[in-house]
Amino acid sequence: MPRLDLPAHPRPVRDDYFADPFLTRFNGQYYAYGTTRPRDGHILTFEAIRSDDLVHWTSLGQALTPLDTVFGDAYWAPEVVERDGRYWMYYSVGRGIDRHHIRVAAADTPEGPFVDCGVDLTPQESFAIDAHPFRDDDGQWYLFFARDVLEGARPGTHLAVTRLPEPTVVGAKARPVLAPDADWQIYERGREIYGRRFDWHTLEGPTVTRHGSDYYLFFSAGSWEGAGYGVSVATAPHPFGPWNHRAESGASFMSSSSTRLAGPGHNSVMHGERTILTAFHAWNSERTARQMYIAPVLFD
């Protein structure tokens, strides 16, 4: 299983707010895309940053051209991939914390500006966030994401997957990937939502990597503002599963207790030339900003 190789006193790579960081590499340079926060009432989309060495970063500004406000005012969790000679950004947009749907935007360069393609990839979902496009070794593409599920023993936000045969086209029906299986994944007890009251669980931020013949699904769970928030890992023989996760009393891959950071989570995984790296966010000591950290991932 993978483990986080974090120093005793980890430091963020930047002081700025940079949540849900997606780390990747294009044309020999490193890029990261992250969720920003509204400033002075202005709607912002995503900041893109670039580096030659993973230490010194240059801001490229706002990477996505905003949509009309009818689509929402909150943009979350961008991920960018190269496909068919262009760059594709998958993200969600909604009104505050409600009615989010996953969309895709395109650009000719990884710097952007990315322009929305006019496609809602999750029209059948009541709420969908945290899109993760994954290309398997055989060239097949899949789209993992989080969605609300009201049925079952632990209602809340679960994980799903569908095919991604074209950059702007998904499969006819998404398949369940992972449901909550432990109390540490509770977002809020007695939450009023969809006209009912639930002990609401949350799984979010899926990211998949292949190591050997196995697939590893990293996911965040719990309340992103709570002390129990963290990252665990599920495994499968195929992107469509079956995905297996052993129920535990807390996050196994990354948690506040194991990292000594507040609210670590929503990580991405990148295969470098010699190492596997993960980028994730955690709160600063004042809890005023979620900042990006980068650390190696080791497989035992």
Catalytic residues: 20, 204
CA atoms within 13 A on the CB side of 111: 8
Distance between CA atoms of 212 and 185, rounded to whole angstroms? Answer: 29
Distance between CA atoms of 29 and 50, rounded to whole angstroms? Answer: 7
DSSP characters over 253-272 = SB-HHHHSSEEEEEEEEEE-
* Nearest alpha carbon to residue 277 among 257, 293, 263, 289: 293
**Residue bearing tokens 């990937």:** 177
- For residue 286, count CB atoms less than 10 angstroms from its CB and return exposed for 0-12, middle for 13-18, buried for 19 or more: exposed
Distance between CA atoms of 95 and 65, rounded to whole angstroms? Answer: 17
Tokens of 51: 């580096």
**Residue bearing tokens 């909604």:** 94
- For residue 92, count CB atoms less than 10 angstroms from its CB and return exposed for 0-12, middle for 13-18, buried for 19 or more: buried
CB 270 within 8 A of CB 24: yes
Dihedral sign for Cα atoms in the order 240, 266, 263, 199: negative
